[in-house]
């Protein structure tokens, strides 16, 4: 169940981050409200996940997969460039998450 909370936390964080640009610096009300609620939900779910998953592992998965997903969304939908340097960085992030999970002691 904890990993379901973690997946939900990642989804809420990715949703919120992908809406950040539409807030126009938090000058637009409804996108800003959606971002705030999404981040709140993400942290609530992450707090539930760390009840049974080591914090180092949960946070690495949450931040790493969130970062990789946002980079992909940026490239696919927001017109952001995705060169070999970004792809390499994403690969290193994912590799780090895998290594932390292998040594996570859970």
pTM score of the predicted model = 0.87
CA dihedral 16, 17, 19, 21 (to 10 degrees): 150
**Across the chain, what does the average pLDDT equal?**
92
Residue 96: band (very low, low, confident or very high) from pLDDT cuts 50, 70, 90: confident
What digits encode the pLDDT tens for the residues 59-86? Answer: 999 999 999 999 999 999 888 998 999 9
Lowest-pLDDT range of 34-38, 69-73, 101-105: 101-105
Handedness of CA 21, 72, 64, 41 (dihedral sign): positive
CB proximity list for 82: less than 8 A, separation 6 or greater: 71, 72, 74, 75
Percent of the chain with pLDDT over 90: 75
């Amino acid at each position: 169940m904890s990993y379901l909370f973690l997946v939900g936390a990642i989804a809420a964080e990715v949703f919120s981050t992908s809406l950040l640009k539409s807030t126009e610096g938090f000058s637009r009300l409804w996108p800003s409200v959606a971002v705030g609620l999404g981040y709140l939900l993400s942290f609530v779910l992450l707090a539930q996940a760390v009840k049974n998953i080591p914090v180092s592992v949960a946070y690495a998965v949450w931040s790493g997969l969130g970062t990789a997903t946002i980079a992909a969304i940026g490239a696919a939908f927001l017109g952001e460039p995705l060169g070999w340097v970004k792809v390499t960085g994403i690969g290193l992030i994912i590799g780090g998450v895998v290594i932390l999970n292998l040594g996570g002691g859970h």
